[in-house]
């Protein structure tokens, strides 16, 4: 069994830029590209395997047809989605529904997401949470366009981590690049779009005001994270989230300068993205070169593997609900 290396799916966005090419050397389409869906089994936007017996098959198909690779999950939908986002301009202020609302209203999953900040221009901030004390106040401030009072602005720098549970009002803003690990869903309710005109259509993008008000958690409360760091040989492992705080995924950052026989083995499978540097992953006696921008899945049958090199990786695994 081999790691399954994946080719990203790119999405043009009005707020996107060219950094996905400049930083990761991805072969992106012309124009403004906002998102690379680097590990995706989503229906309209799945990533495709580039090696091994599954070469040229989408992750969506691989997951459906080979459940044993993923520890025989309950659902036939790949539950996680990993993206790079290049915010060359402000993204719309938005909120995502939770599972129960999304299943009922949208026939899709809810979306809890998380951001690990790769780059941030000096003075950058995120929109994360709101100030309304109750739902009536939230609706009133939205209807009156009191955005400066309503939206919480949080300063941000490279290396910061944010957990964004469903129901949290949020937005990336100009000059920020993140890797986003989230539930596989594409349901976004747009609350405010800075009154921008979409050049493609000559119109403002649609807002989803009532749905946004319905799904936003009030009052906003900071999620209680228990971020911790441990050393395993030459690897520094930072745990950002685990169940039950984050029911949908585990998420780690691994900074390696040397060798690491991973201890992260008690998971049905793992998703790995190299965010800087170069190295190798060894499986049995086989060695695979990896470097910045590479994305792969370590399937269930691979129980022993190790990494060597000087690199940083973001690693995730499905949560207890999968």
Q: What distance, in Å, lies between the first and last C-alpha atoms of the chain?
A: 22
Report CA-CA distances (Å) from 305 to 59, 170, 202.
Answer: 22, 37, 52
Q: Say if CB 319 and CB 71 are below 8 A apart.
A: no
Check whether the bond before 219 is cis (ω within 30° of 0): yes
**240 contacts: CB under 8 Å, gap ≥ 6:** 114, 116, 161, 163, 225, 227, 251, 252, 253
Residue appearing with tokens 């799916």:
9
Catalytic pick among 18, 64, 190, 196: 190
> Of 221, 93, 91, whose CA–CA distance to 165 is shortest?
221
| Residues 182, 96: Cα–Cα separation, whole Å | 11
> Of 281, 283, 273, whose CA–CA distance to 312 is shortest?
273
| Residues 249, 272: Cα–Cα separation, whole Å | 13
64 is catalytic: no
What is the DSSP track for 153-175? EEE--TT-EEEE-TT--EE--TT
Q: Say if CB 115 and CB 168 are below 8 A apart.
A: no
What is the DSSP track for 219-240? S--------EEEEETTEEEEEE
- Per-residue burial over 264-277, b if 16 or more Cβ lie within 10 Å, else e, is beebebbbbbbbeb
Read off the DSSP letter of residue 72.
Answer: -
| CA atoms 191, 194, 195, 197: torsion sign | negative
Residues acting as catalytic residues: 190
């Amino acid at each position: 069994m081999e790691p399954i290396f994946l080719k990203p799916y790119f999405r043009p966005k009005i707020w996107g830029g060219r950094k996905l090419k400049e930083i990761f050397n991805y072969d992106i389409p012309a124009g403004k590209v906002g998102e690379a869906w680097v590990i995706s089994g989503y229906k309209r936007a799945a990533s495709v395997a580039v090696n091994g017996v599954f070469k040229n098959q989408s992750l969506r198909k691989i997951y459906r047809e080979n459940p044993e690779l993923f520890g025989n999950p309950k659902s036939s939908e790949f539950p996680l989605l990993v993206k790079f986002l290049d915010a060359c301009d402000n993204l719309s202020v938005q909120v995502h529904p939770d599972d129960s609302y999304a299943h009922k209203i949208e026939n899709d999953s809810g979306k809890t997401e998380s951001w690990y900040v790769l780059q941030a221009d000096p003075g950058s901030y995120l929109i994360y949470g709101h100030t309304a004390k109750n739902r009536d106040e939230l609706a009133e401030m939205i209807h009156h366009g009191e955005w400066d009072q309503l939206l919480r602005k949080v300063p941000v720098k490279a290396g910061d981590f944010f957990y964004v549970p469903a129901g949290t009002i949020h937005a990336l803003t100009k000059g920020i690049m993140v890797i986003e690990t989230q539930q596989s869903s594409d349901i976004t309710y747009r609350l405010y779009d800075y009154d921008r005109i979409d050049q493609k259509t000559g119109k403002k993008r649609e807002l989803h005001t009532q749905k946004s008000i319905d799904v936003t958690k009030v009052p906003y409360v900071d999620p209680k994270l228990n971020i911790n760091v441990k050393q395993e040989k030459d690897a520094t492992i930072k745990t950002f989230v685990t169940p039950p705080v984050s029911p949908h995924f585990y998420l780690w950052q691994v900074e390696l300068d040397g060798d690491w026989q991973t201890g992260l083995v008690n998971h049905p499978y793992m998703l790995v993205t190299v965010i800087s540097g170069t190295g190798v992953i060894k499986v049995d006696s086989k060695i695979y070169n990896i470097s910045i921008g590479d994305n792969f899945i370590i399937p269930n049958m691979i129980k022993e593997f190790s990494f060597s090199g000087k690199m940083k990786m973001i690693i995730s695994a499905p949560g207890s609900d999968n």
